[in-house]
Amino acid sequence: MTTVRTRIAPSPTGDPHVGTAYIALFNLCFARQHGGQFILRIEDTDQVRSTRESEQQIFDALRWLGIEWDEGPDVGGPYGPYRQSERSELYQRYARQLVEQGDAFYCFCTPEELDQMRAEQMARGETPRYDGRGLQLSAEEVARRLAAGEPHVIRMKVPSEGVCVVQDMLRGEVEIPWDRMDMQVLIKTDGLPTYFLANVVDDHLMGITHVLRGEEWLPSAPKLLKLYEYFGWQAPVNCYMPLLRNPDKSKLSKRKNPTSITFYQRMGYLPEAMLNYLGRMGWSMPDEREKFSLAEMIEHFDIQRVSLGGPIFDVEKLSWLNGQWLRELPLERFAAELQKWAFNPDYLMRVAGLAQSRVETFSELAPLAGMFFMGGVHPEARLFEHKKLSPEQVRQALQLILWKLEALRQWNKEGITAVIQAVAEFLGCKLRDLMPLIFPAISGQASSVSVLDAMEVLGADLSRFRLRQAIELLGGVSKKENKEWEKLLPHIGS
Ligand code: GLU
């Protein structure tokens, strides 16, 4: 019997998402339950958006939660490399094989040509899709244009009619019509593969037997299955996990809920409780108990007990469960965890560095630096009254800063300052005009230790969270404002 092998395949393009941990957890439990292996693969073929920092954050966040992998970019293994950017030649080779077999073809369309094609289709009331024009080119023409070095992509052929039957462990057979599938690009103009090709090639070469992934991938499943067929490979068993949702049932998004694992770490949730809560997403123990450890989850795991009604990620419920965990910890462990959280030497060193020049006694530390040990800081609204800016401008300034900080790649004082500076310039004022808004938002008080330094120490998650809370306190941002202000973003420098 083949060994069960599952994997999590995150794209390192942002903060480590709770959805990644949720899918990782279920893949881990499934593998362990069958005595199999669990692999971590980095899908970083999007050169523009992928970063090594984000990759490292994913490793750290998953490990913090207690999720360990048997093979991966950082631990090695017999099927490496486990980072797709290090496997590009492989994908090239497999794409060429498909072209030779007649299952894929070169396409030399420019972006303008594709735009025009889509515009014409829409004008005729058709669904925009690639019309297969690359297939009309003769072999000689293709060879000539390739030799001339013309930019090109490789696309896969897809049937134009009929249905594809997708086997899903949870839903059984799902029928998806082929006419919904586009002739998917497999190799982009930069020579790198798209998700579809790289995912299939890697899952096959890495011996993955079962793929548990988010249900957002179900609609495109036929393209993956077709690729397995073209290559003559057996597709893994598929399981499409229900998506996490906000309490209002919409898809979990950072606009409504913090979605970064590191946020929950900084807020002082216990990793075991967090993992326990993720295990409760669409799944339950046979005896319905709420509190259980990873080992208990693995022991009782049964994928068929995943229910398809969208699981709700509710921070209040998570906090309740976290409270259960904290209260039941032996006191020594509780103290040790607390120390690990924010009373560890590294963090204390950074806080001390900001506080030392401002205190006469140690006992002044708590009022001065309490904000480093808090989640929300609950400032009073009157602290945001501004000499020059109207209340609307205040909200706008905070929102613009928040958005810009959400996009900031390197979280450090220079970057943070540059963002606030750029927003100030855009609004026709100075950095020092905006600082009186940042102070209360971040520290909860009118003054504190240097707030730009404090933001660096607090980290991206807590800083953004506090800015978001300040905006809410001041009445939030209406849908209309949201739309209008978002349009301003490209005009703000930095
Ligand atoms: N890289 C994809 C993602 O980020 C992987 C999806 C899959 O599991 O196939 O979600």
- Digitized pLDDT (tens) for each residue of the chain, 494 residues in all: 689 999 999 999 989 999 999 999 999 999 999 999 999 999 999 989 999 999 999 999 999 999 999 999 999 999 999 999 999 999 999 999 999 999 999 999 999 999 999 999 999 998 889 999 999 999 999 999 999 999 999 999 999 999 999 999 999 999 999 998 999 999 999 999 999 999 999 999 999 999 999 999 999 999 999 999 999 999 999 999 999 999 999 988 877 789 999 999 999 999 999 999 999 998 999 999 999 999 999 999 999 999 998 899 999 999 999 999 999 999 999 999 999 999 999 999 999 999 999 999 999 999 999 999 999 999 999 999 999 999 999 999 999 999 999 999 889 999 999 999 999 999 999 999 999 999 999 999 877 899 999 999 999 999 999 999 999 999 999 999 999 999 999 999 86
Atom 8, ligand 1: residue with shortest CA distance: 213
CA distance 16 to 6: 20
CA distance 412 to 388: 28
Instruction: Provide the 3-class DSSP secondary structure of residue 238.
Output: strand
For residue 452, how far is its CA from the centre of ligand 1 (angstroms)? 36
Asked if residue 223 lies in contact with residue 197, where contact means CB atoms within 8 angstroms, the answer is: no
Per-residue pLDDT at 52: 94
Of ligand 1's listed atoms, the one at least distance from the Cα of 195 is 1
**Choice from 6, 8, 11 to test ligand 1 binding pocket (greatest atom count within 8 A of CB):** 11
Place of tokens 């207690």: 66
**Choice from 18, 42, 213 to test ligand 1 binding pocket (greatest atom count within 8 A of CB):** 213
Give me the amino acid identity at 318. L
Q: Output the six-digit token pair for 436.
A: 């009186």
Of ligand 1's listed atoms, the one at least distance from the Cα of 211 is 8
Which 3-state string (H, E, C) describes 161-220? CCEEEEEECCCEEEEEEHHHCCCCEEECCCCCECHHHHHHHHHHHCCCCEEEEEHHHHHH
From residue 394, alpha-carbon distances to 241, 403, 435 in Å are 42, 14, 11
Residues counted in the chain: 494
Place of tokens 């690009």: 185
Atom 3, ligand 1: residue with shortest CA distance: 10
CA distance 151 to 84: 22
CA distance 458 to 453: 9
For residue 43, how far is its CA from the centre of ligand 1 (angstroms)? 7
Atom 5, ligand 1: residue with shortest CA distance: 9
For residue 337, how far is its CA from the centre of ligand 1 (angstroms)? 33
Of ligand 1's listed atoms, the one at least distance from the Cα of 10 is 4
Look up the pTM and report it: 0.94
Asked if residue 295 lies in contact with residue 67, where contact means CB atoms within 8 angstroms, the answer is: no
Closest by alpha carbon to 364, among 449, 248, 290?
Answer: 449
Of ligand 1's listed atoms, the one at least distance from the Cα of 212 is 8
Per-residue pLDDT at 433: 95
The phi-psi region of residue 275 (left if phi > 0; otherwise alpha if psi is between -120 and 50; otherwise beta) is alpha
Pocket lining for ligand 1, CB < 6 angstroms: 9-11, 43, 195, 199, 213, 217
Of the candidates 157, 188, 254, 256, the residue annotated as catalytic is 254
From residue 396, alpha-carbon distances to 82, 256, 390, 415, 458 in Å are 43, 18, 10, 20, 23
For residue 10, how far is its CA from the centre of ligand 1 (angstroms)? 6
CA distance 158 to 457: 52
For residue 9, how far is its CA from the centre of ligand 1 (angstroms)? 5
Sequence-distant (6+) residues with CB within 8 A of 99 are 105, 106, 154
Per-residue pLDDT at 400: 97
CA distance 469 to 377: 9
Give me the amino acid identity at 43. E
From residue 109, alpha-carbon distances to 105, 137, 139, 265 in Å are 12, 11, 16, 47
387 is catalytic: no
Instruction: Provide the 3-class DSSP secondary structure of residue 347.
Output: helix
For residue 459, how far is its CA from the centre of ligand 1 (angstroms)? 27
